[in-house]
Structure 1
């Protein structure tokens, strides 16, 4: 659909327009697909959810995986939020976000907002959070989101391969971040970027209370938010409890009283859902058919288009057959995407044929991947052109310890082996993310990405750009001067529409270089209990929009 984002930068002042979204009381029944409890929320009701991604922190600047973000979405408020149907940003904590040149941005913050400890949510609250995140030695996961702001480079310093600081940063604050007055923040970028306003609803841009920074370790497990729910207790590895903050003053606050998250290894939560202990779950592959044939469950089923792209990446930083683009083409052409989906996850995945998921963000179109169709003959020809596969060696495919993904990638490996005769083994490792960051893989590996903000650039630059011609991007070592030039051209475009078109040119370069293999796009699906209604799924993460839910507990 190529939806246009709400920020359209021009030569004159532009503002993020406040779009209508749900108000208090969990939203309008017309917005959701869910039946169930009905009759509005019960203020004493508790929502029961699962966490499945080994959550280690609740610091917004250090949280960049789905489960952290899902929790923080109700504990914190950002400057903008995203419409669940269009993905367009609309002002929330921000009163206005304006620019005349796409380089200097003026953010006005609504007055009289506070954190849950009574501190003001003002320009200082955002400045201190962004400076902490951008300071290299703090090693925050969302550090790179601030690289567009002037002064970022001076805050990084240098480290050796073991992580030891060899050169201290020259600065500890962003020179491009100026608190004009208590309600006004001025942001100066290193160059024009028409999409800056679309980024501001992402978790990494949330504000932080001073009390939080004074004891950052405590705040990582007991955050001091500014959203409609506050964390009461987090027993890490077991469960997390949040209750409604009664002093919350903005519009989007549910009427139910509490949320209980239970932590699971992988996605082993379906039995608890069937037993009535969870309000949302997705069945594992082995239970798919039974769930689809259960008429009661089908009445409590919701689905929608997804944004999460699963792909196979290669350790291009390491010698191996994968450094030949023909080998990468052979692997892609050997994967029967549709057959795997039909056998394991019908309705939960669709075959991927692009690096930007179509119809989710501006600029997303299908069919950009020429070698993503299953073609055994073409796969064998490409492998022969690449020189074949070394006799007696196994192809190791690395991934995390998620039961569904292990079944999915076993099927991928089986398809490669059957088509090309390449034996394989799965390396499902509990420290997957650490190993990936340390470049510790000896073969291809599963990777996944869903956008943090609604722009095709977010599928491209954060994953593939690095500015490092020698080492390439951190995770798999890809570098292309042409790709980076195309991304830069998008950044410097005068309008968002022009930027989107330039980023599409960058995707075409990926399609030629073929550094990764698009495999599957997740369809957003959930089964839900009789206790919940007005179920709307987040188009980015695929998680239920907790602020829109109505909960009755019977």
Structure 2
């Protein structure tokens, strides 16, 4: 996922979905209802599943919608939920059988057509959906793109209309059967289907997209009551939900905060889970009462440094990129800015977090100041008197983190720097408007090492390279292709590991840290289980004890 801030990726951000309401007595109940109170920290701007790809949106939608597939929170293993069966004989043509009897909260059936309409809307380029790229593997995707521009406010100007409005590879066979033709074999296709971007939508939602973005018509255990954007969001249990894994509370209330500013409200009992800002990390962990109500889990979010290789020297020089990597004392910056909430990264795929993740694939992620100086000299040095701009989004913790990184580079390589935080960071990244290194973050959308590799690095464009960095490697693309065409998932995982080995050799980006998810919780809740990907509290498993 692309748009998460560092604070959201680190466990300081497990505030994303938090526990139940306040500090004892009648707090946490309204009229006898069991009310769970949560914090949001990321400026949620839409609740359309096709357009939601940041942690907070996904955390809300996880209980407002139910998808074809879900993931075991301990093993990350996918299992069918709304889907009855997902099968293929050739890994290119897939048949999806949908369990009958599920409905949307307005009474419409959750059927094959409800998935097809959602996927076609997402895949149509001029709709500007954030999850559009997930449908690149579907036959007919290219015909649905056309040419268009999107400004900083999300307004789209179409220069050339697409030649198709529906995916040619997506067919509704009957009420409960979909078929999907991919552009080529992909053995991991069923694993993708638990991601938010594959949720269904009601026809009434499609008829009023703007309204549905703020008050969706879901098919999950909770329905949105009211959303005052930037302030407060509330939802109530939907009595007619037919699915399993239904929480035991009645209402959810989210309050929106900036960064880690919700910690005082957690301490006051107004929220039931939270993580402290760095300045209060030590005291929180030393508090015997608080530390007895703490859950930790290795995270899956990778923070890494990208380079505008499309700009040429020095960023297209592998020795320069190695120099930057070896100049960074990862543990020192974590101890300074995110103590206990991150671990140094020495790979591009989280070790043990998803199938295929291994530690130690990054040879040049070890702190080595002398090796960094030698690599910089080999690269031709840095222009004297010139500052290196480091681009990032506007977020307090992210800025502290990258200031620490910049200080390491200045100390160990003598390269002066300045941070370039901007509210339109992601638009600038997509438009290739950076003149220096830039911050990136990724956490997996589904449990497969392929997901760490294809989205950020694959392009099939030997001339221009991938969108964000300008990186292209035929060897890398070939290994991905071999993995996609593998006869089984185990074989595919090995091929994707070989693709990661190509990244290690080509070294297009610098892994810095993986998140370590930590959440403190109140006496009002138990069974606090953290999502293996985002680190958020899994609401559908949370138990309200009042």
Shared fold (TM-score greater than 0.5)?
yes
Alignment of structure 1 residues 338-353 onto 2, 5 Å: 338-353=331-346
1:431 to partner: Cα distance: 2.2
Q: What is the alpha-carbon distance in structure 2 between the residues aligned to residue 248 and residue 164 of structure 1?
A: 40
Match of 2:321 among 325, 328, 342: 328
Pair 1:522 & 2:511 matched: no
Alignment of structure 1 residues 378-389 onto 2, 5 Å: 378-389=371-382
Pair 1:45 & 2:34 matched: yes
- Identify the residue that residue 301 of structure 2 maps to in structure 1: 308
Match of 1:156 among 126, 129, 145: 145
Q: What is the alpha-carbon distance in structure 1 between the residues aligned to residue 340 and residue 213 of structure 2?
A: 36
Conservation of the 8 A alpha-carbon contact between 2:126 and 2:148: no
> Which moves more between the two structures, 342-351 or 496-505?
342-351
- Identify the residue that residue 9 of structure 2 maps to in structure 1: none
Pair 1:533 & 2:522 matched: no
1:320 to partner: Cα distance: 4.0
Match of 2:173 among 167, 180, 187: 180
Conservation of the 8 A alpha-carbon contact between 2:342 and 2:514: yes
Report SS of the residue matched to 1:267: coil
TM-score (norm 2): 0.92
Report SS of the residue matched to 1:321: coil
Q: What is the alpha-carbon distance in structure 2 between the residues aligned to residue 409 and residue 279 of structure 1?
A: 30
> Which moves more between the two structures, 452-461 or 268-277?
268-277
- Identify the residue that residue 101 of structure 2 maps to in structure 1: 112
Q: What is the alpha-carbon distance in structure 2 between the residues aligned to residue 423 and residue 259 of structure 1?
A: 48
Conservation of the 8 A alpha-carbon contact between 1:399 and 1:432: yes
1:386 to partner: Cα distance: 0.8
Conservation of the 8 A alpha-carbon contact between 1:44 and 1:258: yes
1:345 to partner: Cα distance: 2.4
Alignment of structure 1 residues 443-454 onto 2, 5 Å: 443-454=436-447
Conservation of the 8 A alpha-carbon contact between 2:148 and 2:157: yes
> Which moves more between the two structures, 94-103 or 209-218?
94-103
Match of 2:228 among 235, 241, 246: 235
Divergent runs of 4+, >4 A: 160-163
Q: What is the alpha-carbon distance in structure 2 between the residues aligned to residue 333 and residue 551 of structure 1?
A: 47
Conservation of the 8 A alpha-carbon contact between 1:45 and 1:552: no
- Identify the residue that residue 4 of structure 2 maps to in structure 1: none
Pair 1:123 & 2:112 matched: yes
Q: Deviations over 1:284-317 (max 9, x none)?
A: 1111111111111101111011111110111122
Q: What is the alpha-carbon distance in structure 1 between the residues aligned to residue 162 and residue 337 of structure 2?
A: 50
Q: What is the alpha-carbon distance in structure 1 between the residues aligned to residue 270 and residue 188 of structure 2?
A: 42
1:160 to partner: Cα distance: 6.2
Alignment RMSD, CA only? 1.7
Alignment of structure 1 residues 24-43 onto 2, 5 Å: none
Pair 1:293 & 2:286 matched: yes
Alignment of structure 1 residues 46-445 onto 2, 5 Å: 46-159=35-148, 164-445=157-438
1:468 to partner: Cα distance: 1.8
1:176 to partner: Cα distance: 0.9
- Identify the residue that residue 482 of structure 1 maps to in structure 2: 475
Q: Deviations over 1:7-31 (max 9, x none)?
A: xxxxxxxxxxxxxxxxxxxxxxxxx
| Gap runs ≥5 in structure 2 | 1-18
Report SS of the residue matched to 1:371: helix
Match of 1:491 among 484, 488, 501: 484
1:192 to partner: Cα distance: 0.8
Conservation of the 8 A alpha-carbon contact between 2:480 and 2:495: yes
> Which moves more between the two structures, 441-450 or 265-274?
265-274
1:334 to partner: Cα distance: 0.4
Report SS of the residue matched to 2:315: helix
1:513 to partner: Cα distance: 1.0
Q: Deviations over 1:363-383 (max 9, x none)?
A: 110111010000000000001
- Identify the residue that residue 548 of structure 1 maps to in structure 2: 541
1:161 to partner: Cα distance: 8.9
1:266 to partner: Cα distance: 2.4
Conservation of the 8 A alpha-carbon contact between 1:308 and 1:522: yes
* Matched positions, count: 516
Conservation of the 8 A alpha-carbon contact between 2:50 and 2:130: yes
Conservation of the 8 A alpha-carbon contact between 1:537 and 1:543: yes
| Gap runs ≥5 in structure 1 | 1-31
Report SS of the residue matched to 1:409: helix
Conservation of the 8 A alpha-carbon contact between 1:524 and 1:539: no
1:434 to partner: Cα distance: 2.1
Conservation of the 8 A alpha-carbon contact between 2:307 and 2:438: yes
Q: Deviations over 1:367-404 (max 9, x none)?
A: 11010000000000001111111111111111122222
Q: What is the alpha-carbon distance in structure 2 between the residues aligned to residue 166 and residue 301 of structure 1?
A: 53
Report SS of the residue matched to 1:425: strand
